[in-house]
Structure 1
Amino acid sequence: MRLVQISDCHLYADPMQPSRRGLPARQLAAVVDAALHDRPDMVLVTGDLSQDESEGSYRLAMDNLLRFQCPWYWIPGNHDDLALMVEHWEVEIDIGAAAWRIVQLNTRIEGEVKGRVGEEQLAALSELLADDERPTVVVMHHPPVQVGSVWIDELGLVDQEAFQEVVGAFPQVKVVLCGHVHQAFHGKINAPHGDIDVFACPSTSDQFLAGSVEFAVDEASRPGYRVLDLSRDGSWQTWVERVEI
């Protein structure tokens, strides 16, 4: 089972509207072109599809994502309008992936950049995990660990410890995929049964400078996506692909 993760597209209704470093619409199209060559079995889009929270931005996202000849799923980020998203494509929670399972969370807080899983969603996550022992990937927008950039960590997941406690109780949770950080990132959640790997992927739009104290764009990095290969025996491997624009 091959998953492709795409994140942080930050689209405008106007496809010619630029970001800080380029045209988000053009860059998403190039990332989808490249990812198609990897023949994914499933695509996961980890939030911030829109920058201007417009209907046109989601139509533009759909035009690109429907080019995949496989199931694809999205979740909202802090920049998204959830009501507009679900008018175009449903947000699903529990997804079968052959011998694996994907569980998607909504960490968006209305009107905030920070994120939260929340007590209700944490309780639901615990029930879902208790009900199925298949190896599991948890998908969310805000990272559940510190990423090492001061300004991003100040705008991260406010209930990191509570989330870590829940997933740490279930040995089948192998990987967490997140967005929000606009860079290739690998961290870990220390759990009693062994570390849970946490991965973010490059944005399809602007890249953020790793390890920065204040907001900074990484002008040398290119857009990209993450590939995650899941084996039936519960093992996996992952890597990042960058895309020339």
Structure 2
Amino acid sequence: MLIAQISDIHAGPDLSSLRTLEWAIGWLRSFRPDVLVVTGDLVDDEWRQGYRLVAESLRLLDFPVYLLPGNGDDVQLMRSEFAAVDTWIKATGPMHFRVAVDGLALFGVDVTVAGQSHGDVLPHLPWLMSALADVTTPALLFMHQPPFAIGIEALDRVGCRNGSALLSTLETIHRLPLAILCGHVHRPAFGRLGIIPVQTCGSLCPPNPLLLEGRTDLPVIDAPSFLVHEVSDGGLVSHVVSIPASDGRA
């Protein structure tokens, strides 16, 4: 079972991120994963047309696509513009999703907070606990922000709150998710929430510098990237797919 994950497109009128998205879409059309999950921050600065252009690109894929908003998204614009292209997004309420695909359960938790830049998982734990209660297959949990600080202060200020409450909730169910898969960080990063692996996906816009513990803001040499997750025999292996600058960026 192959699950692709794209995050943090941050499409803007200069079209550079949309060109990167086109490269990723072309690669995915040839590679043909079973599912694509997009974990938020689709456009910059409430660019209305950007949502429709992203939706039109995603519509080229002939396998299921599931989406979450990020802390940089305008949820109402996202809903209205995506509705003009397809019916991926619920009309009201949090944009959670729950789907079973070939013996694997995928859960998306919308942790956005209206009018705020941070996320908060706490209001959605009752939904998540109910959704996970009867799951007997391997599961993956998707969010925009990771449920703990990742060490880059500017990102952690607008991170997801109440990660400890998420862990306490997950520890009450009989089967933990294989991993929690997030975006927000604009670079691949790996950690744990309790014993649950947590991964962040690279971005389709320029990656963030590694501003850890006061280190100098060095030039970023990382390429834009996304992830392909393989679930087999109850285990998970994740692969980073980097996008060549000559094909994906202006």
Same fold (TM over 0.5): yes
On the 8 A contact 2:206/2:224 being kept in 1, the answer is yes
Indicate the residue corresponding to 2:101 in structure 1.
97
Indicate the residue corresponding to 1:145 in structure 2.
148
Runs of 4+ in 1 over 4 A off after TM superposition: 213-218
Query: Cα offset for 1:150?
Result: 2.7
Q: Given the alignment of the two structures, is residue 38 of structure 1 paired with residue 31 of structure 2, yes or no? A: yes
Indicate the residue corresponding to 2:121 in structure 1.
117
Indicate the residue corresponding to 2:209 in structure 1.
209
Report % sequence identity.
28
The gaps in structure 1 that reach 5 residues or longer are 18-22
Q: Alignment RMSD, CA only? A: 1.9
Q: Given the alignment of the two structures, is residue 227 of structure 1 paired with residue 220 of structure 2, yes or no? A: no
* Alignment-mate amino acid for residue 77 of structure 1: G
Change (3 A) 1:217 1:80: farther
Take 1:152 and 1:95, find their aligned partners in 2: how far apart are those partners?
29
* Alignment-mate amino acid for residue 22 of structure 2: A
Indicate the residue corresponding to 1:128 in structure 2.
131
On the 8 A contact 1:75/1:140 being kept in 2, the answer is yes
* Alignment-mate amino acid for residue 141 of structure 2: V
Change (3 A) 1:140 1:218: farther
3-state SS of 1:132 partner? coil
- Return the TM-score normalized by structure 2: 0.86
- Return the TM-score normalized by structure 1: 0.88
Indicate the residue corresponding to 1:242 in structure 2.
242
Query: Cα offset for 1:34?
Result: 2.5
* Alignment-mate amino acid for residue 199 of structure 1: Q
Take 2:169 and 2:210, find their aligned partners in 1: how far apart are those partners?
28
On the 8 A contact 2:183/2:201 being kept in 1, the answer is yes
Q: Given the alignment of the two structures, is residue 65 of structure 1 paired with residue 58 of structure 2, yes or no? A: yes
Indicate the residue corresponding to 1:20 in structure 2.
none
Query: Cα offset for 1:96?
Result: 1.1
Take 2:103 and 2:219, find their aligned partners in 1: how far apart are those partners?
37
On the 8 A contact 1:28/1:205 being kept in 2, the answer is no
The count of residues paired between Structure 1 and Structure 2 equals 232
Take 1:143 and 1:24, find their aligned partners in 2: how far apart are those partners?
22
User: Which deviates more from structure 2 when the two are superposed, residues 207-216 or residues 64-73?
Assistant: 207-216
On the 8 A contact 1:78/1:115 being kept in 2, the answer is yes
Change (3 A) 1:103 1:219: same
Change (3 A) 1:217 1:9: farther
Q: Given the alignment of the two structures, is residue 77 of structure 1 paired with residue 102 of structure 2, yes or no? A: no
The gaps in structure 2 that reach 5 residues or longer are 83-87, 90-94, 246-250
